Each structure stands twice: as structure tokens, then as C-alpha cells.
Amino acid sequence: MNPQLLFWVPASLRLSIILIFAGVVGYFFGWSIGLATALVLMIALIVVQLNYLYLLSAWLDHPDSEKLPDGWGAWTDIFSRLYRLRRDDERNRAELTEWLARFRQAMSLLPDGVVIMDDVLFLEWCNPAAEKHLGLNNGRDKGMRVTNLIRNPDFIDYIILGRYEQPLTLSLKDRKLIVQIIPFENRRQILVTHDATESDRIEMMRRDFIANASHELRTPLTVINGFLEIAQGQPNLDPDVRMSHLNLMIEQGKRMQNLVEDMLTLTRLESIDYPLRPEHVNIGNLLRQILQEAEALSGGRHTISLTVEGPDIQGSTDELRSAFGNLVSNAVRYTPEGGRIDIKWQDLGHGPQFSVKDSGIGIRAEHIVRLTERFYRVDKSRSRETQGTGLGLAIVKHVLLRHGAVLAIESQPEMGSTFIVKFDNSVVDNDALGLLKNH
């Protein structure tokens, strides 16, 4: 029904009833009494309306604590509509609070820092990543000027110049940050920070790797080119000299081949497209092969022993051959003639372990932590003399990482070294253990 009618019809009905009632009283008791009755009833009506107005104003002051009465006449409708509005408002507010909480949670999980500032750079809010990157504190620093909180000359210059379309690279508290200011709304700006320390480190590692690899390849290439030029310029060279040149070229070629193979192995080990496919690894067979290769490399200059006491495991035979083989060949290469090398596979209770102990030249403590870095060598010339690429222990590290194993190095200069690979119990091949027991 038309809301206007809905309001006016009952209101006029109520007025008409008062007037009719006053008319009846006037008819029976005289018109002056009738008029007085009408006046009293009208005043009563106005008092009721005023009372409802008062109740409404009190409720508007404290909508949470006061309760609206059911009301009378048009007030019933007004009060119920107000109730409904209030309920909708509460629901909207609850939804908004929930959204805000979700937004805050998302912001706090963001790896990038977000700082919201007003147009004159006073801090309004920042997420935990921004607190970490810039050393801010959301509670303590709120309302303070960001340039007073981040006292870095490059940052201040960036603010002064105001060229916000370009990000700024900032070195702050041992971190490399990429910072950008984005104006939003009319009177607000967002400062976004991205921690580029790790990507920067990886980029530097990549550059170092390429520089090192090129350097490593350049030396043998220069040697080979030199001999080839001699061969070209002096066709009648003494056959013995020519033979020694050829031998040197073959040696350098082999060096390059080893290097390229090691680089390819490393790349493959690092590739996520090349996941580990565990298989049964017959440790006894594997280590006997490695022992044979070590004896061939040693050429009888060392005493080499092998002890196999631990269980077989699950893993990649090829990768483990490469890792164990590298450790054993290092022991041979860095142990002078007459030295001793003990290769052991044992289970000492907390998981199987592989160890190679040599009586070689040993390593000073400051080098030990860096040995698994690519191309890191304690003595470059010695490594090259023995066909080392400087990538052996980096390969070992990656293979062990893929097998959940860790490498421990115990060494002292002139006292020999022990390289220990500790595996977790979970790699033990229980099926193979069962087979062994049944036989």
C-alpha cells in the first residue's frame, strides 16, 4: 500500500475518533465540556508523541544500551524500521571488520614491505615485512615522519627529488632493498619495499661462476692454442718434442673435458626438472668399484683399506658414486706418497655413515667452511696438478642435499683429514635388510 496512505489514514482516524468523542460529550454535557474534552485528549496525544520523541532521542544517543519500546501508531513502524537499519549497520560493520582482519592478515603474510603514509610522509600503518626491512614499529612510530625514521641519505634524496616512477635500490642493515613510493588517493602514499638480498646473492654467484668457469677454460685453451701455433709454424719439429707437445695438449683437453662434465653434473643436480628417483643402492658393490678406481689413481703409492659394515640404502647409485668417488679421489690426490686412506661404511646407531680418512696434507680451519663453494681451492696449483676442477666438493654437497645427508669435515694441517657423510635412518633400505636376514 502507498506509504503516505499508510501513515495518514490511521492518523486521521485517531483524530476523527477524538473529535467524534468530544462531539458526543458536547452533545450530552454541553459544548464547552465537549471542547474541554477535545483539548484534554489532544494534549494527551501530544504528550504521548513527545514521550516517543524523547525515547527516540535517548536511543539515538546510546543505541547500544537503550532499548526502543514497541511504540504506538506510526511509531511502531518508525521504531521497527530503525531497528532494522541498526541491525543491517551492525552486520555491515561486522563484515567490514572481518574484511579488514583478512586484509591485515594478507598484508602481514606478504614478503614485501608496505608502508602507508599521508601526503607529508607521516606514518599511518606498515606491515611486519616493512617493520623488518626498514626497522619501523607500527605501534611506536605511528604518526612520525618517515624521513625521521629511515635516516638514509639515498632515501632522503629520493624523497627530495620525488622521481617516484623509478624504484630506488637501498643498502640498509646488510640488506639490499628495492624501494618505491606510489601515490594513491589524494592525500596518501604507499612505500613498497622488496628484499633483493637473496636474488642479488644468486646473481653474484652466477656472475662469479661464469667468470671462474671462463678463467678455468681459458688456461688449457691458451696452452693448446700455443702448441698448435708451434706445430703450424715449425712443421719439421723434433718428433720427441712434438710427442711431448701432443701429450700436454691431451692433458689440457682432458682437463677441459673434466671441467665441462663437472659443470654439467652440477647444473643437473641443481635442476628442479631432475628430481631424485631413489633406487636400491648396493653399497658393497659401489664402494668396491670406488676402491678399484682409487687404487688405479694412486698407482700403488698409498695403502688403501675398505670396511663395509652398514646396511644398503635407497638413493641414486650414480650420484652417490660421484659423491663418494670425489671424496676418495681427493684423499688420494691430497695425500703424499706412502700415506694411508681408510674408507668406511658403518652404522653407528643414528643412521649409516660413509667416511674417508687420509693421512694427507690436511686443511687449515679457515678453509674448511668454504671448501664446498664452487672453484674454492686451498692450493690452486696443487689442485690443477692433480687434474682437480675445484667443483668436486660442490657436487658432493648437492648430492648429499638431495639425499638428506650432511657432510662433516675434520682436519688439521699435516695431520690428515676425515670427510664424513651422515645419512638419516630413513634412507636405510629395509626391504634389502629383510632379504639379507632371510638368507
> What is the DSSP track for 302-330?
SEEEEEE-S--EEE-HHHHHHHHHHHHHH
Closest C-alpha among 349, 357, 346 to residue 410: 357
What is the footprint of ligand ADP within residues 378-417 (CB under 6 A)?
A: 378-379, 383, 388-393, 417
Residue nearer to ligand ADP on the CB measure, 393 or 427: 393
Cα gap 75→14, rounded to integer Å: 14
Asked if 377 is part of the footprint of ligand ADP (rule: CB under 6 A), the reply reads yes
Q: Grid coordinates representing 134? A: 626498514
Q: Closest CB to ligand ADP among 124 and 318?
A: 318
- Which of these ranges, 54-62, 220-228, 277-285, 373-381, lies near ligand ADP under the rule CB under 6 A? 373-381
Cα-Cα-Cα-Cα dihedral sign, residues 273, 274, 276, 277: positive
Shorter beta-carbon distance to ligand ADP: residue 347 or 373: 373
325 belongs to the binding site for ligand ADP (CB under 6 A): no
Q: Which is nearer to ligand ADP, 42 or 378 (CB)?
A: 378
Cβ–Cβ under 8 Å, residues 392 and 262: yes
Contact pick of 25, 114, 115, 363 for ligand ADP (by CB under 6 A): 363
What DSSP line would sit under 117-163, residue for residue?
A: EETT-BEEEE-HHHHHHH---HHHHTTSBHHHHS--HHHHHHHHH--
d(CA 203, CA 272): 18
Q: How far is the CB of 400 from ligand ADP (least distance, A)?
A: 13
Q: Which is nearer to ligand ADP, 193 or 383 (CB)?
A: 383
CB atoms within 10 A of CB 391: 24
Give dist(CA 12, CA 9) in Å, integer: 5
The size of the interface with ligand ADP (CB under 6 A), counted in residues, is: 21
C-alpha grid cell for residue 46?
501530544
Smaller CB separation from ligand ADP, 310 or 416: 416
Binding mask 278-317 toward ligand ADP (x if CB under 6 A, else -) reads ----------------------------------------
> Minimum distance between the CB of residue 291 and ligand ADP, rounded to whole angstroms?
16
Query: CB-wise, 141 or 319, nearer to ligand ADP?
Result: 319
Grid coordinates standing for 345? 661404511
CB of 361 to ligand ADP, least distance (A): 5
Name the site residues for ligand ADP (rule: CB under 6 A). Answer: 326, 330-331, 334, 358, 360-361, 363, 371, 376-379, 383, 388-393, 417
